[in-house]
């Protein structure tokens, strides 16, 4: 999943911060001794706070962590999925690189009972190896849907951490950001939920049925969005054309199906095997 993320960053070794333990005044200690002791304790406290801040900034425990380099980005993706205990959600789209390690990992995690929800950009499934691989993973339990144009690739693990690309070339992802529990993570989760809601179910039957009565690939996308309850504005935005064009295309499909409402159009398309 998330092809192109195939290797991982070197693990940062977290340093444990020292905790300053306030000293207790001795009975009969002079004012000078107490003053010196207070200064030492204050310096120790400052050093302890500085060490703790440095450890938090350099470890994986912060809210945001930027990962540089394709190898490290890949390792980050691998390690995040390896740590999953309940749910992995992701968006798969180019750029791509070798995918064997992540595909094998997903197979193992599925066998362990971890749920996978993967959104595929339509262009991702244009590659025959990816189509075959996705079909195999779906047979193992992956929940897969397809979206016309995905805004970005991402990984979400156990609703606790996400990985999103920052910079990329046509061939690979050069840097990414790890996002942990925060308002930003909640926003990423909601973006995935919205994309998932309007995506079409994955089908391994890529050869479309022939005949004048069968819908085109684009029409199937419109129908799948109709069935999910998308408005004309949403359909136009996701399909890449204006709301007026979307409205016209929807009206044409409703008339072609011989129904009266958008809901009926979606139901009729499912009944006819168009979705």
Domains of the chain: 64-201 (3.30.870.10), 217-271 (1.10.10)
pLDDT tens digits, one per residue of 128-177: 678 888 888 999 999 998 887 788 899 999 999 999 999 888 788 889 99
Side-chain-side CA neighbours of residue 101 (13 Å) = 16
**Chain centroid, CA 235 distance in Å:** 22
Q: Identify the DSSP state of 161.
A: E
Distance CA 203, CA 131 (A): 10
Question: pLDDT higher for 34 or 153?
Answer: 153
pLDDT of 90 strictly over 90: yes
Distance CA 259, CA 268 (A): 8
Sign of the Cα pseudo-torsion (82, 86, 91, 92, in order): positive
pLDDT the model gives residue 157: 96
Task: Average the pLDDT over 174-181 and give the result.
Answer: 91
Q: Tell me whether residue 71 is exposed, middle or buried, using C-beta atoms within 10 angstroms of its C-beta: 0 to 12, 13 to 18, 19 or more.
A: middle
Extract the tokens encoding 265.
């159009």
Distance CA 191, CA 174 (A): 23
Inter-residue contact 89 to 2 (CB < 8 Å): no
- Helix 243-257 with 232-239: angle, nearest 10 deg: 110
Distance CA 191, CA 159 (A): 13
Question: Secondary structure of 64-127 in the HEC alphabet?
Answer: EEEEECHHHHHHHHHHHHHCCCCEEEEEECCCCCCCHHHHHHHHHHHHCCCEEEEEEEHHHHHC
**Chain centroid, CA 187 distance in Å:** 12
Q: Which of 174, 176, 146, 175 is CA-nearest to residue 164?
A: 176
The band of 223, judged by pLDDT with boundaries at 50, 70 and 90, is confident
């Amino acid at each position: 999943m998330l092809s192109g993320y195939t290797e991982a960053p070197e693990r940062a070794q977290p340093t444990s911060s020292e905790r300053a333990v306030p000293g207790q005044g001795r009975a009969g200690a002079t004012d000078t001794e107490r003053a010196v002791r207070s200064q030492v304790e204050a310096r120790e406290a400052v050093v302890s706070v500085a060490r703790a801040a440095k450890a938090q900034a350099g470890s994986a425990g912060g809210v945001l962590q930027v990962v540089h380099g394709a190898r490290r980005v890949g390792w980050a993706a691998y390690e995040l999925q390896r740590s999953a205990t309940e749910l992995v959600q992701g968006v798969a789209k180019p750029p791509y690189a070798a995918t064997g390690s992540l595909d094998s990992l997903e197979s193992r995690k599925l066998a362990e009972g971890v749920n996978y929800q993967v959104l595929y950009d339509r262009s991702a499934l244009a590659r025959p190896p990816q189509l075959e691989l996705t079909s195999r993973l779906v047979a193992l339990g992956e929940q897969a849907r397809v979206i016309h144009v995905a805004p970005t690739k991402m990984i979400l693990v156990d609703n606790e951490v996400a990985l999103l690309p920052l910079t990329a070339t046509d061939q690979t992802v050069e840097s990414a950001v790890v996002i942990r529990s925060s308002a930003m993570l909640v926003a990423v989760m909601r973006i995935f939920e919205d994309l998932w809601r309007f995506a079409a179910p994955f089908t391994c039957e890529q050869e479309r049925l022939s005949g004048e009565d069968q819908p085109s690939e684009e029409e199937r996308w419109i129908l799948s969005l109709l069935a999910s309850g998308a408005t004309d504005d949403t359909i136009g935005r996701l399909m890449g054309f204006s709301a007026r064009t979307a409205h016209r295309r929807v009206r044409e499909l409703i008339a072609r199906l011989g129904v009266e409402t958008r809901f009926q159009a979606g139901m009729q398309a499912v009944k006819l095997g168009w979705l």
